[in-house]
Amino acid sequence: MFGMTYTSLISWLLLGTVVFAADSLEYNRDVRPILAENCFACHGFDKAKREAGLRLDTMEGAVEKLDSGQVAIQPGKPEESELILRILATDDSVMPPHETGKSLTEGQKDVLRKWVSQGAQYDKHWAFIAPQKTAIPESNLAKANSTTNPIDSFVLAKLEAENLLPSAPADPITLIRRLNLDLIGLPPSVSEVDDFVLAFQHDPESARSQLVDRLLRSPNYGERWGRWWLDQARYADSNGYSVDAPRQIWKYRDWVIDALNRDLPFDQFTIEQLAGDLLPGATESQQVATGFHRNTQINQEGGIDPEQFRIDSVFDRVATTGTVWLGLTIGCAQCHDHKFDPIEQKEYYRLFAFFNNQDEPQLTIHKPEVNAPRLISEQKELEATSADIVRQATDAIALWEQSLTEEQTKSFSKEIQQLLSGDKSKRNAGQMKSLYAVGPGVTNEQFLTIQNRLKEIGSLLAEGVSTMVMKERATPRKTSVFIQGDFTRPADEVTCGTPAILPPLATGTGNLNRLDLAKWIVAPNNPLTARVIVNRVWQHYFGRGLVESENDFGLQGTSPTHPELLDWLAVHFVEQGWSLKELHRLIVHSKTYQQQSVERAELTEKDRGNYWLARQRRLRLEGEIVRDVELAACGLLSSKIGGPPVFPPIPDGVMSQGQVKREWKVSKGEDRYRRGLYTFVYRATPPPSLNVFDAPDGYSTCTRRPRSNTPLQALTLMNDASFFEFAGALEKIIQTEGLDFAFRRCVSRPPTQEELEILRSLDSLSAARALLNLDETVTRE
Amino acid sequence: MANTTFLQQQTRRHFFQQCGIGVGSIALADLMAASMQGSGAETAGNPLAPKPTHFPARAKRVIFMFMAGGPSQLDLFDHKPMLNQLNGQPIPQSYLEGKRFAFMDSSHRINLLGSRRSFQQYGQNGAWVSDLLPHTAKIVDELTFIRTCKTDLFNHAPAKLFMNTGTGQFGRPSMGAWLTYGLGSECEDLPGFVVLQSGPRGPRGGSVLWGSGMLPTTYQGVPLRNQGEPILNLTTPDSISNAQQVQVLDAVRKLNAKRLAETGDEEIATRINAYEMAYRMQSSAPELMDTNQESQETLDLYGIKDPKETSFARNCLLARRLVERGVRFVQLYHTNWDHHGGPTENLEEHLPSISREIDQSGAALVMDLKQRGLLEDTIVIWGGEFGRTPMGEVRESTGRNHHIDAFTMWFAGGGFKPGTIFGETDEFGFGPVDHSVHVRDIHATLLHQLGLNHERLTIRSQGLDFRLTGVQPAKIINEVLA
């Protein structure tokens, strides 16, 4: 259909440019990427950097008569369009200029020339137009595969157009392992595999449904997908910068796990995290949720200007909100108008204003059975009564004091002795109480009961756990545009507002605040949020989003490979009440998801990067899941969910790498064997065995983890004391249950005869170590 | 070592003969990897394979002696008699307008502080060096001084990030990561980017200073630790014999190769390579750290008293051993140069002692490299994240505040013009009177010497082409190049 050559296909896919032999060009698909890559930096949205007064990102700008008297684009007349003359120039007037290091290919020049001759039609950037469900496409492939899942219809239609065939479905063992790892981040047990295989032979459809239902109900689902969200929330357990002191904010982590487990609709999930404190009658849980934006660093270095770093954390909040929900590089407009996307610097500071108006307190959380407000008022009452009793006993205390023998005096604590020998007229209420408690009070039943109750209340309240939250200030701070993003150079004052390119914010009464912003982000007419989130979930299952630049849906981002599918999913997601679990269910039930991941020779040639999804893809597990899988395989894994972060063993000397040496007291009991997401993370000295597998360090939002493959990973799995300990546990399983069984605990499938022979030639500990080092063990296939 | 060779041969033979993916597809992978350089695509095959430069290079590797905390150029290199004349008097207000300093609220002082050091001129060009650095003074004819270095940020962690990554923001690749990304590594047994540390504490900022940012983690710096194992998990567990270790590796390789044949996933090939390199590192890294082979003469040259003890001197020697083995970028952090005054960090006591810690060995490294013919294509850098103010901070004892407008760094080897003094500061050493050299100019110049165009060495992320020198113009400082 497109008549593309392999080379041009690759260059389009990978470099964001395309060569079409076809006659009809689309601005967003064919032209904009070329202009964005080569022209917009100097002829785009940023007024300050615009050269020769020329703006090429809008039709109005492109056809305007320039100071030089020339016109960049004369629609329909390439030979009179300066743009075309300049890109074809062979002398120094050529565009883009030599010094930019950029140049256009012949194909790209051809596209621009054709586009101008066809009338230079501009379209609004796709991501700023609200998604709409198009008709589900029909194709012979879809018919042949009796497709019912819309995802498959879209993917197969594309495959058919590309003249590619989908891969066969994965075998049931690969499938259960894939589903387990993707949905709960843990491998299936051997008996779960056996049961599934049996059920699958009987009725594949219902076996799959039941498995998916069970996994989505599992509390481990919230752990696995919680970590997905915590990456984006830049969660870690320390303050960052150079001092990097520990902080306590794990209640927020547990909130995320819990919210995902109860499938809190994503719009509500968003509102509570961005503005839970502003909801009417905000619950404790909704306040804890605002920890999302407390995951910024805090600089405790000496000699700093605290305001500078407060502003830095607000910058981070604006950038993170833009990246996580809108898929926009809003942070680029901190110092100047955005060079590629239509976001003015002033608009950036209007967003900034939403986040410039809060205090950053701690909230103490008590167990559900502890009613803290009631206890605190009871405590107050009791203390008052107790004080009354002591006050009325002034004479009794004096009498008691006079009656004391020297021996009796010596039997009291140092503190009491000091009080007794000190100036009587200077005793305060507390000291009088202390004396009464050891003196006349010992026989006062009422006083004693009160003291016991006070002690009880005190210890109940002390059990509370603090967590970092947001709290809106009563009087807003003023917000100004900062020249060059420098907070010492404030310019025009601005108020809260959202970028003009996106639908307007529904204005209520009074001043705008974060709650308005949060509602705007998840408003049904926001063209970005649902697309961005759906894409980021998709990325998890296929190793790449439908939009590859998962954090940039702007003009510089990559175009979606399956735009209609992306839009269909986004609309469907909102229609299903923003239910993430329903989205997961839809994706994992697709045949596209369930395909085999093996490479096929003809695919390697036609679609090396697997953009058209004619197969699944093997994906190395995330750092935390590498740990989880190995712990599960060797039987040591603790099933405890939530709670304070833990300190599994780490190599000596790791904690002295930062400026301040931090203590790492290894956790005892089952806390030694908790899932990776519970490991305490110091930002400046992240746990090496997670870090080496690309776990983010929490300095800034992470919307996609790299998947590196390094010798340091090999050293970790081979020699790290923890992994060696796991091998010891797996060795025992080999000895008691056999090599075959241990093999299945690691990779789910049974070994071949050849594989068994290789392993049998080793002693059992070596066999266990080999199993835990297999590429397959740490990979989702 | 015999085992290593065996492993290598087996693996390679297996790839090409038994794995069912032909030489063709491997070659294609390499080709793709090479053509993707700088375009930000994931590379297949060995991401650390040597890559072609943009143009012929003058240098192949870098040793950066990072003086963490910000050394006082006014007490070491930038001699300002006027400071002593006006000691105790306020600096003219015109110097301060529009400037910001660290510790603004508590100890912002505007009175000039004379240097207590005695200065002399050395070498053919009469480079000024204070009495604190007698060994450095002897080799000034090998060095290129830039006295007008300029950075943008004046707090430690952000400024260190700036010197290393060209920005104060987290999440950008460091210089060493850029170099191994751009040039690959010429060492098969050791990482291409190695970090060594000495001094009382680690540098502020920690691992982000040698991070890979948006580049794959393959390119991040590997800190050789100063106690215990030089690389984490380098030692086979105690109870495991070398024979057992080799057996495990051999079985893992065979099983992985089977999976590679079944799935055709090239990541498995990369993993097999990674295990080979890991095993080689198990022997090459201890060999690297074992300085027993060095002559007493060499140890004396560097001033190493106890070769087992971590010191800047030992790290200098290790740096030479690393570049000898083809490591691309070696960074030596030495703390603590943060001399504000006060009982633990003042100019009277602590500046002289830390200067002693680095003087002899830093000079020895340059001369040792020269002697071995390595200086020609190795760039040696000396400097911190910023300099210090001409105004004093007088606490119980004297010190100076952080200063970003003009500070001194020196360079040697790798095509830098020896015996050069570049950039002049005003009478107080506050700002440049000519040739301000911004951190990004230094970055552009370094990349240039290594055969890389700083505008072409890019990584695509979030729709932008990021580079070490950022978006502001950067210039190559031709005047300091031979």
Positive or negative, the CA dihedral A649, A652, A656, A658 is: negative
Q: Is residue A772 part of a domain?
A: yes
**Among the three residues A463, A490, A518, which one is the final residue of a domain in this structure?**
A463
Distance CA A766, CA B176 (A): 37
Dihedrals φ, ψ of A564, to 5°? -70, -40
- Verify that B51 and B84 share a domain, yes or no: no
Whether pLDDT at A142 is above 80: yes
**Among the three residues A463, A489, A505, which one is the final residue of a domain in this structure?**
A463
Rounded mean pLDDT, B356-366: 97
- Verify that B2 and B89 share a domain, yes or no: no
Beta bridge partners of B122: B127
List of residues 6+ apart from A217 with CB closer than 8 A: none
Put simply, the chain A residues between 299 and 358 with a CB less than 8 A from any chain B CB are 299, 301-305, 323, 329, 332, 340
Beta bridge partners of B416: B481
Is A626's Cβ below 8 Å from some Cβ in B? Answer: no
Distance CA A31, CA A17 (A): 8
Put simply, the chain B residues between 172 and 191 with a CB less than 8 A from any chain A CB are 191
Q: Are residues A770 and B456, on separate chains, in Cβ contact within 8 Å?
A: no
Q: Is residue B378 part of a domain?
A: no
Q: A331, A337 in Cβ contact below 8 A?
A: no
Distance CA A756, CA A734 (A): 12
Is A70 exposed, middle or buried, given 0-12, 13-18 or 19+ CB atoms closer than 10 A?
A: middle
B268-322: pLDDT as tens digits:
988 898 898 899 988 888 889 888 889 999 999 999 988 877 789 999 999 999 9
Put simply, the chain B residues between 383 and 442 with a CB less than 8 A from any chain A CB are 402
A570 closest CA partner among A544, A545, A591, A589 = A545
How far away is chain A from the Cα of B65, in angstroms, using its nearest Cα? 17
Q: Which of A110-119, A284-293, B136-145 shows the lowest mean pLDDT across its residues?
A: A110-119
Q: Is residue A83 part of a domain?
A: yes
Q: Are residues A684 and B271, on separate chains, in Cβ contact within 8 Å?
A: no
Rounded mean pLDDT, A578-587: 98
Tracing tokens 């300190």 back to the chain, one arrives at A647
Instruction: Indicate the pLDDT class of residue B462, thresholds 50, 70 and 90.
Output: low
- Verify that B167 and B214 share a domain, yes or no: yes
pLDDT value of residue A409: 87
Share of chain B above pLDDT 70, in %: 85
pLDDT value of residue B9: 37
Q: Chain A interface, mutation test: which of B453, B462, B476, most A Cβ atoms within 10 Å?
A: B462
Residues in chain B: 482
pLDDT value of residue B32: 33
Dihedrals φ, ψ of B382, to 5°? -125, 125
Q: Is residue A220 part of a domain?
A: no
How many domains, chain A? Answer: 3
How far away is chain B from the Cα of A759, in angstroms, using its nearest Cα? 7
A748 closest CA partner among A110, A104, A15, A197 = A197
Distance CA A277, CA A412 (A): 50
- Verify that B81 and B225 share a domain, yes or no: no
Q: Is residue B389 part of a domain?
A: no
Q: Is residue B401 part of a domain?
A: no
Whether pLDDT at A89 is above 60: yes
- Verify that B187 and B50 share a domain, yes or no: yes
Average pLDDT across chain B, whole number? 85
Q: Is residue A391 part of a domain?
A: yes
Distance CA A506, CA A512 (A): 10
Is B464's Cβ below 8 Å from some Cβ in A? Answer: yes
Which residue from B205, B234, B251 is facing A758, i.e. has the nearest CB? B251
CA A430 to chain centre: 50
Query: ∠ CA A501-A503-A508 to the nearest 5 degrees?
Result: 130
Instruction: Indicate the pLDDT class of residue A8, thresholds 50, 70 and 90.
Output: very low
pLDDT value of residue B96: 77
Q: Are residues B233 and A715, on separate chains, in Cβ contact within 8 Å?
A: yes
Largest CA distance in chain A: 115
Instruction: Indicate the pLDDT class of residue B229, thresholds 50, 70 and 90.
Output: low
Rounded mean pLDDT, A578-592: 98
Is B269's Cβ below 8 Å from some Cβ in A? Answer: no
Which residue from B234, B254, B453 is facing A715, i.e. has the nearest CB? B234
Instruction: Indicate the pLDDT class of residue A103, thresholds 50, 70 and 90.
Output: confident
Q: Are residues A305 and B105, on separate chains, in Cβ contact within 8 Å?
A: yes
Q: Are residues A700 and B36, on separate chains, in Cβ contact within 8 Å?
A: no
Q: A512, A354 in Cβ contact below 8 A?
A: yes
- Verify that B120 and B250 share a domain, yes or no: no
Q: Is residue B299 part of a domain?
A: yes
**Among the three residues A123, A158, A175, which one is the final residue of a domain in this structure?**
A123
pLDDT value of residue B339: 93
Bridge pairing between strands B193-198 and B222-223? parallel
Cα dihedral A322→A326→A329→A335 (10° resolution):
-50
Number of other residues whose CB lies within 10 A of the CB of residue A395 = 9
pLDDT value of residue A509: 66
Provide the domain limits for residue B233.
Answer: 1-21+44-63+156-194+205-327+451-471
CA distances B383 to A160, B72, B121, B200, B425, Å, are 60, 10, 20, 18, 17
Q: Which residues of A touch B247 (CB under 8 A)?
A: 761-762, 766
Residue of A nearest to B199 (CA): A659
Q: Which has more pLDDT, A1 or A421?
A: A421
Is B232's Cβ below 8 Å from some Cβ in A? Answer: yes
A507-549: pLDDT as tens digits:
766 789 999 999 999 999 999 999 999 999 999 999 999 998 8
Which residue from A604, A712, A755 is facing B25, i.e. has the nearest CB? A604
Give the orientation angle of helix A764-772 with respect to helix A753-760, to 10 degrees.
130
Q: Is residue A114 part of a domain?
A: yes
Distance CA A146, CA A283 (A): 48
Radius of gyration of chain B (CA): 24
Whether pLDDT at B11 is above 80: no
Q: Which has more pLDDT, B25 or B123?
A: B123
A514 closest CA partner among A693, A287, A737 = A287
How far away is chain B from the Cα of A599, in angstroms, using its nearest Cα? 5
How far away is chain A from the Cα of B108, in angstroms, using its nearest Cα? 10
Whether pLDDT at A12 is above 80: no
How far away is chain A from the Cα of B55, in angstroms, using its nearest Cα? 14
Q: Which has more pLDDT, A660 or B390?
A: B390
Q: Is residue A364 part of a domain?
A: no
DSSP A296-315: S-----TT--HHHHHHHHHH
pLDDT value of residue B471: 80
Of all helices (H) and strands (E), which one includes residue B183? Answer: helix B175-183
pLDDT value of residue B310: 79
Q: B216, A706 in Cβ contact below 8 A?
A: yes
How many domains, chain B? Answer: 2
Q: B245, B233 in Cβ contact below 8 A?
A: no
Residue of A nearest to B226 (CA): A653
- Verify that B80 and B220 share a domain, yes or no: no
The single-letter code of the amino acid at A175 is: L
Is A113 exposed, middle or buried, given 0-12, 13-18 or 19+ CB atoms closer than 10 A?
A: middle
Q: Are residues A598 and B463, on separate chains, in Cβ contact within 8 Å?
A: no
Q: Is residue B306 part of a domain?
A: yes
Q: Is residue B182 part of a domain?
A: yes
Share of chain A above pLDDT 90, in %: 63
Of all helices (H) and strands (E), which one includes residue A493? Answer: strand A490-494
Is A776's Cβ below 8 Å from some Cβ in B? Answer: yes
- Verify that B80 and B179 share a domain, yes or no: no
Q: Is residue A771 part of a domain?
A: yes
What's the half-sphere exposure (Cβ side, CA atoms, 13 Å) at A572?
Answer: 23
Give the count of Cβ contacts less than 8 A between chain A and B: 223
pTM of the predicted model as reported, rounded to 2 decimal places = 0.77
Distance CA A249, CA A430 (A): 35
- Verify that B120 and B170 share a domain, yes or no: no
Q: Are residues B464 and A720, on separate chains, in Cβ contact within 8 Å?
A: no
How far away is chain A from the Cα of B295, in angstroms, using its nearest Cα? 30
Q: Is residue B59 part of a domain?
A: yes
Rounded mean pLDDT, A54-78: 88
Q: Which residues of A touch B286 (CB under 8 A)?
A: none
- Verify that B181 and B267 share a domain, yes or no: yes
List of residues 6+ apart from A246 with CB closer than 8 A: A237, A238, A239, A662, A680, A682
ipTM surpasses 0.90: no
pLDDT value of residue B12: 35
First to last CA, chain B: 42
Residue of A nearest to B210 (CA): A684
Residue of B nearest to A691 (CA): B217
Q: Is residue A625 part of a domain?
A: yes
- Verify that B218 and B309 share a domain, yes or no: yes
Query: ∠ CA A582-A583-A589 to the nearest 5 degrees?
Result: 85
Distance CA B79, CA B129 (A): 8
Residue of A nearest to B235 (CA): A719
Is B102's Cβ below 8 Å from some Cβ in A? Answer: yes
Is A556's Cβ below 8 Å from some Cβ in B? Answer: yes
Rounded mean pLDDT, A726-734: 98
- Verify that B186 and B266 share a domain, yes or no: yes
Query: ∠ CA A405-A410-A413 to the nearest 5 degrees?
Result: 130
Residue of A nearest to B223 (CA): A657
Is B246's Cβ below 8 Å from some Cβ in A? Answer: no
pLDDT value of residue A98: 81
Rounded mean pLDDT, A42-69: 85
Distance CA B191, CA B182 (A): 15
Provide the domain limits for residue A685.
Answer: 620-780
| Tokens (6 digits) for B21 | 């993916």
Q: Is residue B271 part of a domain?
A: yes
Is A189's Cβ below 8 Å from some Cβ in B? Answer: no
pLDDT value of residue B157: 79
Distance CA A578, CA A532 (A): 13
Q: Chain A interface, mutation test: which of B28, B108, B109, B217, most A Cβ atoms within 10 Å?
A: B217
pLDDT value of residue B19: 29
A641-688: pLDDT as tens digits:
999 999 999 987 777 666 677 889 999 999 999 999 999 999 888 898
pLDDT value of residue B31: 30
